[in-house]
Amino acid sequence: MNIKGHTIQDGVVEGEALVTDMAFSFLGDFDIVTGQVDERHALAGRNIAGKILVFPTGRGSTTGALVGYYARLFNTAPVGMICREAEPVIALNALSNGIPMMDRLEKDPLSVIRTGDLIRLDATRGVITILTTSDKKE
């Protein structure tokens, strides 16, 4: 399945999707040293490192972009991000840290992408492809 959308930061990555219906912030929602999500978030205990993070929108302070920079240095950042609507802080994070990102898809990403799906995020062309689907019911 291919899904078209709006590009925030170009680039092409493939990886496992990690999906949440809760807004995400790089400031406070995960540990930048380990990539593990904080216990107060819906993804508590999961790790965002190397994943394509799928979420409704971002939240938080502009310091989140700096935290995202350090996460890239520690290799604990997601390799890509997909959201319903990118607010300025999460978009800045993608842009300043070179993380391919898309939003405003023609289909709701939270209803068609599941945790564990293998997806290709081609933000350069503005297309997301679900390569394989997960058997997980998360």
Residue pair 29/64 in contact (Cβ under 8 Å)? The answer is no
Answer for the pair 54, 27: CB distance below 8 angstroms, yes or no.
no
Question: In the structure encoding, which two tokens stand for residue 73, read together?
Answer: 């240095």
- Does residue 25 have an active-site annotation? no
Under 8 Å CB-to-CB from 3, ≥6 apart: which residues? Answer: 105, 106, 107, 109, 112, 127, 128, 129, 130
Identify the active-site residue in 25, 61, 96, 134.
61
d(CA 117, CA 127): 16
The residues annotated as belonging to the active site are 61
